[in-house]
Amino acid sequence: MSIRLLLTALCAVLAAGCSPRTDAIDESGAEVIPAETRPQPLTADHVLNLIAADGAAHTLAVLTGPADPSGYDKVTAGVATGDAQWLIVAQHFRPHADGMYGEGLSDALYKALSKNAPGVLSVLKATGGASELTCESGPDNAAAIAAVTAVTDPALAETRQECLGFMSSPIEG
C-alpha cells in the first residue's frame, strides 16, 4: 500500500512539473509576458559587453549571422545617432566590417557626422582615417560639412582635413 501511495504521489509531482506553464491573461484576453522574458532592445552597453567577452570580430559575426539577422541594423541605427557609446562600438567594429557591413557602418558614421563630428572624427582617426564612404560628397551634405569644419581639436586636425577633402570632391557618376 505504501509503495502505491508513493508511486501515486511521485506521478502527481511529475505531472505537475511537466504541465504547461499557464501565463497570465490581462483583462482584454491578451497574454501577459513577464518583463524578464520580453526581448530587450539592443544597447551600446550590451554590445560593448559582448565585445569585451568575445571580441569585436566574433560579436560582429553573431550580429550579422542567422541568429539575429536584424542585429547589425540595430547597431548601425545606434551609430547613426552620434551617441558616444555607439561610436565606441563603431570604433571596435570598423576594422572588422567589410563588404555591405563596412558600407553600412560607413553610412551610419556619415549620418552621425552632423550630430557628433568630433566623436566620428575620433573613430576615423583611431581606425585608419577618413574615407570617401564616411565623408561623402554630395549636394545635401552641408550640415555635415559645417559640423566637421567647426571641429577645432588639434588632435583631429589631420582627420578633419581628410574628411573635408572627400566631402568637397566632385561627385562621380
The predicted model gives 138-152 an average pLDDT of 90
CB count within 10 Å of CB 31 equals: 8
Residue 14 CA to residue 75 CA, distance in Å, equals 44
Confidence of residue 24 (pLDDT cuts 50, 70, 90): low
Q: What is the structure's pLDDT at 143?
A: 92
Out of 10-14, 28-32, 108-112, the most confident range is 108-112
The secondary structure of the chain in percent helix, strand, coil, rounded to multiples of 5, reads 60, 0, 35
Q: Per-residue pLDDT tens for 98-129?
A: 999 999 999 999 999 999 999 999 999 999 99
Specify the residue for cell string 545606434. Answer: 78
The predicted model gives 56-78 an average pLDDT of 90
Average pLDDT taken over every residue of the chain: 84
Confidence of residue 19 (pLDDT cuts 50, 70, 90): very low
Angle (deg, nearest 10), helices 71-80 and 84-93: 120
3-state secondary structure 92-152: HHCCCCCHHHHHHHHHHHHHHHCCCHHHHHHHHHHCCCCCCCCCCCCCCCHHHHHHHHCCC
